[in-house]
Chain A
Amino acid sequence: MDSYDKLMEICGFEPDEVVEYKPTLKQGLKKLLVTEKDVEFAITERLPKCWSIHLKGIRKLLGCWLREYIRIAIPEPGEARLCHTYFVQPGMAYLHPIKLADPTIQIGLPDVVASLVGSAFFNVGWKYVEAAEREGCAVEQITCSLNKIRYGLHVLGIVPRADVSIGFHTFCDDAPLVDQLIREWDGTEVCNPYRVRDIHFTGDPFDEENIKYFADSLRDGHRQLEELLDIKITPEYQAKARELFVNLSATIFAPMTGFMKADPVPLNANDLAYALLPVATAFDTGYDRIFEAEAILQAEVTQMIAEGKGVMPKGTPRISWRLLHSWGCPWLVPMCHELGLAADFEEGFLLGGGQLMKSVEAQMEADMYMMMAKQLAMVSALGTSLEYLYKTTTDHIAEYSIDGLIATSYRPCRCWTAHSHILAKMLSERSSIPCITPDLDIYIDRGDFPQSRMRTVLETFADVVKRSKEKKLKAASKGGN
């Protein structure tokens, strides 16, 4: 058994699949600049230490992501055209109708997938980033590494010139900007659905005029894609995509988020991200394997909860990451565990009651584009009102019994960082929840943010959170007496 066999074993491939898939895997990894040494690193360091690979469901999910990673470099033989997109929002409901309109179009999210797999499993994300930095994403100007990954994959010729790249102007400027560089580089046509970010600091995130504009822009984007890809996105395909989205939400999102309320918590933050992101992400390799893996995982987790098992002992302080944890640096999760923190919660996924209500409200929208626009506006993380951000964060803290928040300060993303800092200020002024804003890269692990420094920061934070929790417990027991 060589390292590639071992990799596939860890990633839940069945023996017959190993034989069948190995040549594609090796060819794909080579093209993606993943060396045998990188594979060794993944199978000895990253995967066993950072994910709950004793769970078959997790292994199978990792396999789904690995296949998706290979697919961005090696399209299926029948895939005649490529449609790439940035990030996961507004996600699969927008992209799946394109695949339904013509299955020979590859729908890929090269940046997300290359970060979630290339960076997280093999730590090669920096190779794509450095290629982008050589060709227009000046390193000293600091641009989001997720976008640099997307551009770098083009610069390196890893992904073929796409027929169209969709860079949503929703949260930040970097996505549409990097698309312009991709267009300049290899002529990839770009489509930039646009949200005007005149978002008030207080009040409801569903500002009627703003939401309608974004919904119409998304609709217009589909019209452009119809022209560019010579397809017809019919109401029937839209309805099917919506059906799939609702199905994914109901059968994956709802139960998995429910499991995370258990103490001890059954899954770690890495497990959770890879289990939940398929709800939002368009999988070119299909959803059958995802549903299968999720069903296995849910059965396993149900069993764990029944037996009182978890990733950390019951009563361990529960830490949440604002928006998302740093999936490019998965070592953070075991590091937190070593320090006695169950840093396994993500505010971006684990919605509080108010946000869930908003999500349901959005899903009731008859118009698919309005639904997507609303879904995006209620994502507390970015692009919404500051007071709503504060409200949803505190809802999440209450709902999941969170003892401390890590609001990552991700330097290359100004809006992420600004929101984190402002939220930390609001929390310190209005609540007793400890909150830190450490500098971290979310998408790659290049060493710009060293592990030793993070350990020092987290050690101090662990002390503060533990003392804060003790104090809360004492106060509660006094109140009880």
Chain B
Amino acid sequence: MEIMKQLSKCIEQRHIELEKMKNRGSKVVGILGFGYTPEEMIFAAGAIPQRLIRGGDRESLDDSREYCHNCFSTFHKAQIGYLMKEKDPVYNLIDHLVLESGDEHSELTGMYVYAYKPMPMTWLGIPGDTEYSGAFPYYLSSLEKFKKELEKLTGNQVSQQKLEEYAKLYNDIRDLLGKINDLRKAPSPPISGLDYVKLNHASFYCDPHEYLALLKQVYEELKLRTGVYTKDTPRIAVFGCPIAVGDYRLLELIEDAGAAVVTEEITGSTRDCKTMTSIEGNLMENLAQRYYSKKSKDVYKYPWREELLSVYSGLVDDFKVDGVIWYQLMYMEAQSMLGYVVNKRLKQRGIPAMTIQSEYDFTSRIEAVKTRIETFIEVVKQSKSKRGNRNG
């Protein structure tokens, strides 16, 4: 699709856009976390949100070694590498950093930044015991504090009107992304998993108004498109650790092996498009409710309940998945433990599941990884033909 090229360009040229906006007096707010920072609030304050979600290259990991121990989440090591070494122009433009509490890797990344390259930072307190009655009020209070810091940073008031404007805009984006995602339920999805993830990732980089316009075109085009897969193509779900912008090798390998990636649940690294923000009443509270609602399905929510585990089985059912690949970045132990439980349960249901580990090192062991994936896809094909074509 031509639009995908435009979106890729948008990501590549993000730093140029940010520089232009900074020259006009805007502040750039970097977000380190897994999707609990309402970007609507940042826009409403007249600042620009920027998710820190690049990854996939070894160089950033090598760069991080000077600052942190190797046995630290691959994704977060990459963020440390980009933040400290100033090789990524987008990361260099950040005026203020938001740290989401809740997982120790994000928290420790903040500590490393404080120790080695201090910059203005805000902590968002995100309680992981969602069943406790004090949890939501704590998160809401944390957002209220953040709002004040944004107002101080930009000198602008975060008005109800502005919040409403951006809440509506983001609702529209989520709605369309959700509709596009639903098209993947078709026996022959009109969009590959790789393209869907890239499309989703572009939402972290593009101006939301422009993005929405492009998204509308994509949706209209996809609705009319004939699927790109045959009915026999194995339908794969990718679950597990974050897939960063640029970390697309796994998706490519799966699709190169003749399978279709039809759904993913990858630790907040794609935009959640299931829940909308209510526009009625207090917008701050509505935003808090919308963002906090997904915490109960988060790997960093304790205790894990069936609500979390059913997310995975639900996706398998909804998207008629034939096999699951758990993407495990090195040293992300929470996902590793959850993957063990999820894969075990899926196997009990007769769904083939495997784990692929990565430290952004596929290039150095590409043949071995390819062989594993190809073998797995063969197993899925056999299992699929045994069970009968679920899509049929």
Contact = CB atoms under 8 A, between A and B. Distances in A.
A138 B123 contact: no
Given A198-B142, A220-B132, A418 B112 contact: yes
A217 B303 CA distance: 13
Interface residues of A, number: 51
Contacts of B304: 180, 183
B71 A180 contact: no
B331 interface: yes
Given A177-B333, A216-B134, A192 B302 contact: yes
Interface string B184-222: 000000000000000000000000000000000000000
B71 A178 contact: no
Nearest to B126: A196
Interface string B110-134: 1110110000000111111100111
Contacts of B133: 220
Interface stretch (A89-97, A167-175, A453-461): A167-175
Interface residues of B, number: 47
Contacts of A180: 302-304, 337-338, 341
A209 B125 CA distance: 10
Interface string A392-411: 00000000000000000101
Contacts of B126: 196, 198
Given A180-B304, A180-B341, A422-B112, A415 B104 contact: yes
A136 B357 contact: no
B132 A169 contact: no
A471 interface: no
Contact of A177 (B102, B138, B334): B334
Given A192-B129, A198-B125, A213 B138 contact: yes
Contact of A178 (B107, B123, B337): B337
B263 interface: no
A194 interface: yes
Nearest to B99: A198
B183 interface: no
Contacts of A172: 104
Contact of A140 (B99, B111, B330, B341): B330
A355 interface: no
A417 interface: yes
A386 B108 CA distance: 11
Interface string A280-310: 0000000000000000000000000000000
A414 B72 CA distance: 7
Nearest to B359: A140
Nearest to B135: A194
Given A136-B337, A141-B332, A197-B104, A169 B302 contact: yes
A142 interface: yes
Interface string A427-445: 0000000000000000000
Contacts of A169: 128-129, 302
Interface in B32-60: none
A278 interface: no
A199 B108 CA distance: 11
Contacts of B134: 213, 216-217, 220
Contact of A181 (B123, B332, B340): B340
A196 B125 contact: yes
Given A136-B340, A180-B341, A421 B142 contact: no
A200 interface: yes
Interface string B342-379: 00000000000000010000000000000000000000
Contact of B125 (A201, A210, A425, A426): A210
B302 A167 contact: yes
Contacts of A197: 101-102, 104, 107
Nearest to B137: A213
Given A169-B129, A201-B114, A216-B134, A414 B341 contact: no
A462 B328 CA distance: 41
B336 interface: yes
A50 B71 CA distance: 30
B300 interface: yes
Interface of A: 135-138, 140-143, 167, 169, 172-174, 176-181, 183-184, 190-194, 196-201, 209-210, 213, 216-217, 220, 386, 409, 411-412, 414-415, 417-419, 421-422, 425-426
Interface of B: 68-69, 71-72, 99, 101-105, 107-108, 110-112, 114-115, 123-129, 132-135, 138, 141-142, 300, 302-304, 328, 330-334, 336-338, 340-341, 357
27 contacts: A137-B336, A143-B333, A143-B336, A143-B337, A169-B302, A172-B104, A176-B303, A177-B337, A180-B304, A181-B341, A183-B303, A192-B302, A192-B303, A194-B135, A198-B123, A198-B124, A198-B142, A213-B134, A216-B132, A217-B132, A411-B71, A412-B71, A414-B105, A414-B331, A418-B68, A418-B69, A418-B108
Given A180-B304, A217-B132, A414-B108, 10 more contacts: A143-B333, A177-B334, A178-B337, A179-B302, A196-B101, A196-B102, A196-B126, A216-B134, A411-B69, A418-B68
